[in-house]
Chain A
């Protein structure tokens, strides 16, 4: 995991990095606030098992944590509440369009499908039956890193723009440009 740009946190690390997140979370938030920007984290993760044949990039609107674990287990880091509310943390593309102070997300993001992610154990490949269960319980695809990252980010008071992309399918250049903006 590394910090690539002061206005944005990019996560390229795996689950083992989450313990370190909170250590640098506060200084980054302070920086973002001093710049007058809302803290926002963009998480791009690989997705698997898309429902309804919609094997395409999605914007994540909510999640099911089916990993059996939670990155906040342990003594509470005072950066956030002991029992963080994680509703309303994901940012829909439409929510961000008018926020010039923060992000200006263009049409390419707005055109992406929206979906609910199931976060599962690292490396777990779901069987057809397990996938069916996940879809029936409300998720549209599953992934490994997005959900724990998002929980840690929510705990640290950040908002999340979550993007899930099918394996081997690069993000459209226009989407990348929109994110970069």
Chain B
């Protein structure tokens, strides 16, 4: 019988204490990062930060993600050479569909809150529902739908589909959108950002066509299996959360999606743009 309720091994306060202990012998002992960034599978940005210190999730959280794609590391490094400001990059996350309980899925975000970091940038790979989207588009979340909270197991998903989308509205989100506009004006290679509503589903099976149509009726623009728990974890805290989806496919009626290589290429190009976008926003914090 699989373990369907893997709870968090540590509290957020314990995780923060561990991070601070591990950083105490580095040049970052006295600094607090200006932001944390969570990278979803296939998203590769902010690589090789100057003076970076790499910690393992296992050491910090007492557990490591089981999904291929990200090893589960927390990297603290400088935004740029000689810059006093630092950023914390979390590669990998815990998902509900893996059987992790809510407190385990939200542990990293709650740790960021407990640590007192003012900004949390979340990323994910998502399926495009909006037919105006193209593979490789970046979508800033201006709203989300919670279709994955464990409470729906008790209540069924019907109240969730009856509810309106929640809005994501804060200055960090505004900064992402403004940075995207600026970068696309300056550089024709920088595809304009999309802005839309992300539907967070439990997974792990992908959506059926009927579910895709339902989500479109509910005016969701992209669909994935993460991010919503982290956004909810920051509610009411001093940590501002903003999120960007990398659109890895677009559901269309003829289901004629690009080949795997095309998707990989698009993801790679999207990661480059996302890196530019994040560096631009982080440098202004």
Which residues from chain B contact A121 at a C-beta distance below 8 Å?
A: 153, 155-156
Question: Which residues 200-257 in B have Cβ within 8 Å of A in the complex?
Answer: 202-211, 213-214, 217-218, 255
B206 touches A138 (CB 8 A): no
B210 touches A74 (CB 8 A): no
B210 touches A138 (CB 8 A): yes
Instruction: Decide yes or no whether B195 CB sits under 8 A from chain A.
Output: no
When A66-B157, A68-B153 are in contact, do A139 and B210 touch as well, CB less than 8 Å? Answer: yes
* Chain B minimum-CB-distance residue to A124: B156
Question: Which residues 117-173 in B have Cβ within 8 Å of A in the complex?
Answer: 151-158, 160-162
A73 touches B97 (CB 8 A): yes
Which residues from chain B contact A5 at a C-beta distance below 8 Å?
A: none
B3 touches A69 (CB 8 A): no
Instruction: Decide yes or no whether B2 CB sits under 8 A from chain A.
Output: yes
The count of residues in chain B whose C-beta lies closer than 8 Å to any C-beta of chain A is 36
Instruction: Decide yes or no whether B197 CB sits under 8 A from chain A.
Output: no
Contact digits for A134-146, partner B, Cβ 8 Å, 1 yes 0 no: 1011110000000
The stretch that binds B, out of A81-89, A92-100, A104-112, is A81-89
B158 touches A75 (CB 8 A): no
Instruction: Decide yes or no whether B29 CB sits under 8 A from chain A.
Output: no
B210 touches A63 (CB 8 A): yes
When A70-B97, A124-B156, A134-B158 are in contact, do A62 and B208 touch as well, CB less than 8 Å? Answer: yes
Instruction: Decide yes or no whether B84 CB sits under 8 A from chain A.
Output: no
Instruction: Decide yes or no whether B66 CB sits under 8 A from chain A.
Output: yes
When A72-B97, A73-B96, A133-B162 are in contact, do A86 and B157 touch as well, CB less than 8 Å? Answer: no
Question: Which residues 26-75 in A have Cβ within 8 Å of B in the complex?
Answer: 62-70, 72-75
Contact digits for B1-17, partner A, Cβ 8 Å, 1 yes 0 no: 11110000000000000
Contact digits for B95-110, partner A, Cβ 8 Å, 1 yes 0 no: 0111100000000000
A84 touches B217 (CB 8 A): no
Contact digits for B53-85, partner A, Cβ 8 Å, 1 yes 0 no: 000000000000011000000000000000000
B156 touches A75 (CB 8 A): no
B209 touches A69 (CB 8 A): no
Q: Please report A residues at the B interface, Cβ cutoff 8 Å.
A: 19, 62-70, 72-76, 82-87, 116, 120-121, 124, 126, 130, 133-134, 136-139, 151, 154-155
What are 11 contact pairs spanning A and B, CB under 8 A? A64-B211, A66-B158, A69-B152, A70-B202, A75-B2, A76-B204, A82-B67, A86-B206, A133-B162, A137-B214, A155-B205
Top 5 A-B pairs, shortest CB-CB distance: A68-B152, A74-B2, A62-B210, A74-B99, A121-B156
Sample of 7 more A-B contacts, CB < 8 Å, known A69-B153, A86-B205, A134-B158: A64-B210, A65-B211, A72-B205, A87-B208, A120-B158, A126-B158, A137-B214
Q: Please report B residues at the A interface, Cβ cutoff 8 Å.
A: 1-4, 66-67, 96-99, 151-158, 160-162, 202-211, 213-214, 217-218, 255
